[in-house]
Amino acid sequence: MTTTVLPKVLLGVSLIAALVTTAAPSHAEAPKSCHVTKVVEFEQKEGKPQWESGNRNRFANGRWSFDSDGTFSYTTTDVRDDIYPLHGKYTVSGDTLRFSAHGSSVIGASSSFVELEGKIDLGAKPAKAQSYVASGAGYGAVVNNQKFGATASALYGGTAELSCS
C-alpha cells in the first residue's frame, strides 16, 4: 500500500475548491417594496363579527417598504394616522423574509396599539405573505367617583399573493 502526501499548496487549493462547490445557495435580497395583489386566505380570529369586512379590506391593501438596513414600514387603508405606518425590522434567510412591526398611540386616558408579524416567501412566483395583525385599545375614566373602562381587540390575517419590486 502506498501513501501519497500532497503538497500543502495543492491541499489548500483542493480544500478551497471543495468549499466553493459546497457553499450554501445564495440568499434572496429584500425587495424595495411589496403590495398585496390577491388574498388567498383570510381569517379573523378575534374581534367583533362586524369588524371582519374592514379587517379583510385592510389585509387586502397591505403595503411594505423595505430599507437596506433591515428596517421597514407597513401601511394599509382606513387606519389611524397616529399609529400607521407601522415600523419594524426584518431578516432574510434563504428565500424567506420575516418581519415584525409595531405602532401605538396614547391620547388622554386611552391607549391603542397594532402589531404585525409574518413572513414572505420571496421564492414563490408570485411572492406569498403569511401575516397576522393584532390590535387593541383601552379606555378609562373616573366621573363623580365612578370608574369607567372598556377594551377592544382584534386578531386577523392569512395568506396573500404579492407584487414586489
Q: What pLDDT digit, counting tens, does each position of 131-159 carry?
A: 999 999 999 999 999 999 999 999 999 99
pTM above 0.85, yes or no: no
Dihedral over alpha carbons 118, 123, 128, 134 (to 10 degrees)? 0
Is 20 a domain residue? no
Count, in order, helices (H) and strands (E) of the chain: 2, 8
Mean pLDDT of the chain: 88
The beta strands (E) that lie in 56-124 are given as 63-66, 71-75, 86-93, 96-107, 110-121
Q: Give the mean model confidence (pLDDT) for residues 77-91.
A: 98
Q: What is the pLDDT of residue 28?
A: 75
Q: How many domains would you assign to the chain? A: 1
Mind listing the pLDDT tens digit for each residue in 5-38?
Answer: 444 443 344 333 333 333 334 457 999 999 999 9
Is 15 a domain residue? no
Backbone angles phi, psi at 11, to 5 degrees: -60, -45
Which CA distances in Å does 14 have to 2, 8, 17, 41?
Answer: 21, 10, 5, 50
Question: Is the peptide bond preceding residue 85 cis, with omega within 30 degrees of 0?
Answer: yes
Rounded to whole angstroms, the Cα distance separating 100 from 72 reads 9
Is 80 a domain residue? yes
Is 66 a domain residue? yes
What domain range includes position 78?
A: 25-164
How many other C-beta atoms lie within 10 A of the C-beta of residue 151? Answer: 9
Is 10 a domain residue? no
Q: Using the 8-state DSSP alphabet, how is residue 162 labeled?
A: E
> And the C-alpha cell for 138?
383601552
